[in-house]
């Protein structure tokens, strides 16, 4: 380390922002990776435009990556960054509003040309007009320094210039005492085929570090101690990777190969990408011609005895609706992964939202109940995927796994699980091998306990049978138009799904004070902000209870009883009140919502205000 003083801080939020072509996602990823390895707890929030590359320097072209890391366990990517790195005027303009008052702003001053200012719709240069007075501004001519560092390198000008994100990374790494070695290694591996590029990037990385250490501008650097996380081996993981791994784990633990039928769509495509790399686990991935074919193939594979999976986002779910109804009707296992994004319609493809809950519940013709599981954090996507597969296999039913764009791309440290400790799914698979009736094999002769039907896969001699989407006679599964049989089957399908409540953990409440009058209840990715907000409220002296639903259909058996215990129930959701609607209908509680649909995760401070406000409104 250098000669300047090092100041210890508990928690820092940094945002890297620049043009889509500036490599901000990569910069953020690398910083995250190193930070994770240093043992900090962390959470990230990448935020990129819907275009591949909007015009350079334009406002819609800005891409950002926010990272919150700390010496204790944290729950969100941070409300307002302490540090903003802005690689050009457009990045400054779209991000400065979020920076903490008094926060640190590092800009690439070389990019503040008249042309770029105009593209960013700045009338005057903000570096000159005093508008940044409330911040600690560091103007760093990053492009110049980068070119300087590469003066003698045998590289084109463009390639040289492109390395400037490494300068920013080097500088910020120095500021927060992050070592460079692992990024060096990573660069050399990534550019193995073009070592000149690797070395140029390494050189610039070091130049950035050296700039921090040697210039007068920065008086000191910071240090964030490792967090006291539970003992174990850790890695950093994003939600989509964790989800893919969860599926592979479910496959390994059930003995059924995965068949993924999918059609690319942001922000779900990465699961397809990830799974298609792991063929040595017997994973079959099919990029289908469309979403309907994707789920159709997955359902066909389930019929054939695979772990059928389909991955998509909201518009894809809409297209799959009819086939989901078929899966309900033929009662085959199927995991339907919906990485929710901003809607309606194409909406905001790269932004997060929670507005597909009711689509998952009701988006099909007829009475067609489907269990729903939702992960709470990126790492939890792993366990939630296993849980979704468990329910699908055990109850022979399609199951929704509702993640979202924030979980998908957000990263956090993750304690690597021991495979042997994961649920054993072999017993729930339980293929039928022998006839179950005097008449041979009755595909709708249910297990009296779970109401699940037997699963006989092609290739099993003697159990040849036919299934389909027409109503089936209870038991034999033959086509039946009998009115009372139809009613019975409708009720049986509903009862099967409702019965899962017996098979899931009760809803837990976190109420350290024990006398909270307000309960905050959420689902999915709002977990972090809600939990953080509750902590903040409590530390302000406002008692509040918190609960989080992992199972949205059915609800845990004790959910009604939990809700009844509190005077007021607050349901924060990144939609207009979808869970709230379900809770009100089922439990007749006057739950109120905190609803913002901005394509971004909640900040803990806005939720804190909502909690404190409701508590002050008082008891019933």
Partner 1 sequence: MTTALPLTKKDFVTDQEVRWCPGCGDYAVLATVQGVLPELGIARENLVFVSGIGCSSRFPYYVDTYGFHSIHGRAPAIATGVAASRPDLKVFVVTGDGDGLSIGGNHLIHALRRNNNLTIILFNNQIYGLTKGQYSPTSELGKVTKSTPFGSVDQPFNPVSVALGAEATFVARSIDNDREHLGRMVKLAAQHKGASLIEVYQNCNIFNDGAFDAVRDHKANQIRLEDGQPIRFGQDGEMGVVMEHDGTLRMAPVAEVGEERVLVHDAHRDDPGLAFALSRLSSGPTGPTPIGVFRQVSRPVYGLEMQRQIDDATARRGRGDLAALLAGTDTWDVP
Ligand X SMILES: Cc1ncc(C[n+]2csc(CCOP(=O)(O)OP(=O)(O)O)c2C)c(N)n1
Instruction: Name the binder of 356 from a second copy, partner 1, ligand SF4, none, CB < 5-8 A by kind.
Output: a second copy
Q: Shortest Cβ distance from residue 471 to ligand SF4 (Å)?
A: 20
**Angle, nearest 10°, between helix axes 314-330 and 291-303?**
30
- Please, are residues 149 and 204 in contact by the beta-carbon 8 Å criterion? yes
50 makes contact with a second copy (CB under 8 A): yes
SS3 call for 504? coil
**Which range, of 37-45, 166-174, 263-271, 361-369, touches ligand X by CB under 6 A?**
263-271
Q: Which does 266 bind (CB under 5 to 8 A by kind): partner 1, a second copy, ligand SF4, none?
A: partner 1
Nearest of 531, 504, 528 to residue 520 by alpha carbon: 531
The residue (of 61 and 572) whose beta carbon lies closer to ligand SF4 is: 61
Quick one: what does residue 307 bind among ligand X, a second copy, ligand SF4, none, with the CB cut-off 5 to 8 Å set by partner type?
A: none
Min separation Cβ 181 and partner 1, Å: 12
Choosing from 68, 93, 536, 584, the residue that interacts with a second copy (CB under 8 A) is: 584
Strand 307-312 to 334-340 pairing: parallel
Single out the residue of 265, 292, 452, 579 in contact with ligand X (rule: CB under 6 A).
265
Report the interhelical angle of 142-149 vs 195-214 (nearest 10°).
Answer: 120
Q: Please identify, among the stretches 36-44, 108-116, 238-246, 583-591, the one whose residues bind a second copy according to the rule CB under 8 A.
A: 583-591
Identify residues 343-372 at the interface with a second copy (CB under 8 A).
343-349, 351, 353, 355-356, 358-359, 361-368
Residue 279 is a binding residue for partner 1 (CB under 8 A): yes
585 binds ligand SF4 (CB under 6 A): no
Stretch that binds ligand X, among 145-153, 315-323, 375-383, 498-506 (CB under 6 A): 315-323
Measured from the Cβ of residue 461, the count of other Cβ atoms closer than 10 Å reads: 6
- With beta carbons less than 8 A apart as the criterion, state whether 425 and 391 touch: no
- Planar angle of CA 346, 348, 354, nearest 5 degrees: 95
Q: How far is the CB of 289 from ligand SF4 (least distance, A)?
A: 20
Phi-psi group of 372: left, alpha or beta (phi > 0 → left; psi -120 to 50 → alpha; rest → beta): beta
Q: How far is CA 474 from CA 47, 317, 434, 492, in A?
A: 50, 29, 19, 9
Asked if 406 touches partner 1 (CB under 8 A), the answer is no
Q: According to the binding rule CB under 8 A, does residue 467 interact with a second copy?
A: no
User: Measured from the CB atom, is 341 or 548 closer to ligand X?
Assistant: 341
Q: How many residues bind ligand X (CB under 6 A)?
A: 8
CB of 519 to partner 1, least distance (A): 32
Q: Which of 209, 263, 400, 414 binds ligand X (CB under 6 A)?
A: 263
The answer to whether residue 322 forms part of the interface with partner 1 (CB under 8 A) is: yes
Does position 182 interact with partner 1 (CB under 8 A)? The reply is yes
Q: How far apart are CA 500 and CA 449, in angstroms?
A: 10
Is residue 287 within a helix (H) or strand (E), and if so which, with residue range?
strand 284-287
Q: SS3 letters for 14-64? A: EEEEEEHHHCHHHHHHHHHHHHHHCCCEEEEEEECCCCCCCCCCCCCCEEE
- Residues numbered 254 to 313 that lie near a second copy (CB under 8 A) are 313
Closer by beta carbon to ligand X, 33 or else 287: 287
Distance (Å, rounded) from C-alpha 42 to C-alpha 13? Answer: 9
Closer by beta carbon to partner 1, 249 or else 562: 249
282 binds partner 1 (CB under 8 A): yes
- Burial class of 383 by CB neighbour count within 10 A (0 to 12, 13 to 18, 19+): buried
* Pairing, β 104-108 against β 136-140: parallel
Position among 154, 280, 449, 484 found at the interface with partner 1 (CB under 8 A): 280
Residue 451 · residue 445 · CB < 8 Å = no
Cross-strand pairs, 44: 67
Say whether 551 sits in a helix, a strand or coil. Answer: strand
- Least distance (Å) between residue 477 CB and ligand SF4: 23
- Name the minimum Å distance from CB 290 to ligand X: 7
Choose which of 120, 292, 521, 549 interacts with partner 1 (CB under 8 A).
Answer: 292
**Paired residues of 570 in beta bridges:** 520, 592
Smallest separation, CB 89 to ligand SF4 (Å): 23
User: Binding to ligand X by residue 264, rule CB under 6 A?
Assistant: yes
CB of 446 to a second copy, least distance (A): 17
Please, what is the minimum distance in Å from the beta carbon of residue 272 to partner 1? 5
Residues 6+ apart with CB under 8 A from 189: none
Does residue 58 belong to the site contacting ligand SF4 (CB under 6 A)? no
User: Distance between CA atoms of 45 and 77, rounded to whole angstroms?
Assistant: 6
Contact between 343 and ligand X per CB under 6 A: no
End-to-end CA, the chain: 59
Does 52 sit near ligand SF4 (CB under 6 A)?
Answer: yes
Buried b (16+ CB within 10 A) or exposed e, 143-157: bebbbebbeebebee
> In whole angstroms, how close is the CB of 50 to ligand SF4 at the nearest point?
12
**By beta-carbon distance, which residue lies closest to ligand X?**
265
Nearer to a second copy (CB atom), residue 169 or residue 368: 368
Which CB atom, from 487 or from 540, has the smaller least distance to a second copy?
Answer: 487
Assess 495 for contact with a second copy (CB under 8 A): no
Burial code of 607-619, b = ≥16 C-beta within 10 A, e = fewer? bbebbbebbeeee
Token pair of 127 as six digits: 């570096």
Out of a second copy, partner 1, ligand SF4, none, what residue 240 binds, judged by CB under 5 to 8 A for its kind, is: none
Contact call for residue 316 and ligand X (CB under 6 A)? yes
Yes or no: say if 279 and 286 are a contact pair by the CB < 8 Å rule. no
Length of the chain: 620
Decide if residue 461 touches partner 1 (CB under 8 A).
Answer: yes
Of 194, 195, 576, 617, the one binding a second copy (CB under 8 A) is 576
Q: How far is CA 550 from CA 247, 399, 401, in A?
A: 17, 13, 10
Distances (CA, A) of 458 to 130, 170, 300, 302: 74, 58, 11, 11
List interacting residues with a second copy (CB under 8 A): 49-50, 60, 313-315, 317-319, 321-322, 325-326, 328-330, 340, 342-349, 351, 353, 355-356, 358-359, 361-368, 468-471, 479, 481, 483-484, 486-487, 490-491, 493-494, 575-576, 581-582, 584-586, 588, 590, 596-600
List interacting residues with ligand X (CB under 6 A): 263-265, 291, 315-316, 319, 346
List interacting residues with ligand SF4 (CB under 6 A): 52-53
């Amino acid at each position: 380390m250098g000669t300047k003083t090092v100041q210890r801080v508990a928690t820092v939020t940094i945002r890297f922002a620049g043009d889509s072509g500036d490599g901000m996602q990569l910069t953020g990823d690398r910083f995250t990776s190193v930070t994770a390895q240093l043992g900090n707890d962390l959470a990230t929030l990448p935020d990129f435009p819907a275009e591949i590359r909007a015009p350079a320097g334009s406002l819609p072209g800005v891409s950002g990556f926010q990272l919150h890391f700390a010496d204790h366990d944290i729950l969100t990517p941070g409300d307002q960054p302490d540090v903003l790195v802005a690689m050009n005027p457009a990045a400054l303009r779209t991000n400065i509003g979020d920076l903490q008052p008094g926060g640190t702003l590092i800009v690439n001053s070389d990019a503040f040309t008249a042309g770029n200012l105009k593209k960013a719709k700045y009338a005057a240069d903000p570096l000159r007009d005093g508008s940044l007075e409330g911040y600690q501004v560091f103007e760093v001519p990053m492009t110049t320094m980068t070119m300087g560092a590469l003066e003698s390198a045998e590289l084109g000008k463009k390639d040289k210039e492109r390395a400037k994100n490494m300068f920013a990374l080097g500088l910020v790494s120095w500021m927060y005492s992050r070592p460079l070695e692992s990024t060096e290694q990573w660069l050399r591996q990534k550019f193995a085929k073009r070592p000149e590029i690797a070395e140029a990037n390494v050189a610039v990385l070091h130049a950035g570090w050296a700039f921090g250490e040697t210039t007068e501008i920065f008086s000191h650097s910071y240090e964030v101690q490792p967090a006291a996380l539970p003992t174990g081996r850790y890695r950093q993981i994003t939600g989509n990777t964790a989800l893919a791994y969860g599926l592979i784990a479910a496959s390994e633990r059930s003995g059924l190969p995965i068949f993924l039928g999918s059609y690319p769509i942001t922000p779900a495509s990465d699961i397809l990408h990830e799974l298609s790399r792991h063929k040595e686990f017997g994973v079959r991935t099919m990029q289908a011609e469309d979403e309907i074919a994707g789920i159709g193939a997955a359902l066909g594979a389930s019929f054939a005895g695979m772990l059928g999976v389909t991955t998509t986002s909201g518009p894809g779910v809409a297209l799959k609706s009819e086939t989901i109804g078929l899966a309900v009707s033929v009662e085959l296992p199927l995991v339907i992964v919906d990485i929710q994004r901003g809607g309606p319609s194409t909406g905001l493809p790269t932004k997060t939202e929670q507005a597909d809950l009711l689509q998952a519940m009701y988006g099909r013709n007829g009475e067609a109940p489907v269990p729903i599981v939702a992960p709470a954090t990126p790492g939890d996507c792993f366990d939630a995927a296993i849980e979704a597969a468990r329910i699908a296999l055990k109850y022979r039913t399609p199951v929704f796994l509702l993640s979202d764009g924030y979980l998908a791309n957000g990263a956090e440290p993750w304690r690597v699980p021991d495979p042997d400790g994961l649920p054993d799914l072999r017993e729930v698979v339980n293929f039928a091998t022998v006839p179950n009736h005097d008449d041979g094999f009755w595909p709708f002769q249910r297990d009296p306990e779970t109401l699940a039907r037997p699963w006989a896969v092609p290739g099993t001699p003697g159990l040849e049978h036919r299934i389909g989407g027409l109503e089936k006679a209870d038991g034999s599964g033959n086509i039946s138009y009998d009115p009372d049989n139809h009613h019975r089957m409708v009720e049986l399908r509903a009862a099967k799904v409702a019965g899962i409540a017996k098979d899931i953990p009760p809803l837990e409440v976190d109420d350290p004070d024990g006398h909270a009058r307000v309960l905050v209840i959420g689902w999915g990715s709002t977990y972090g902000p809600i939990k953080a907000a509750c902590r903040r409220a409590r530390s302000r002296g406002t008692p509040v209870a918190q609960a989080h639903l992992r199972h949205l259909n059915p609800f845990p058996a004790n959910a009604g009883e939990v809700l009844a215990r509190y005077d007021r129930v607050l349901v924060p959701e990144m939609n207009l009140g979808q869970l709230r609607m379900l809770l009100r209908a089922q439990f007749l509680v006057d739950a109120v919502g905190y609803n913002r649909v901005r394509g971004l995760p909640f900040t803990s401070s806005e939720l804190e205000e909502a909690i404190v406000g409701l508590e002050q409104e008082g008891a019933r």
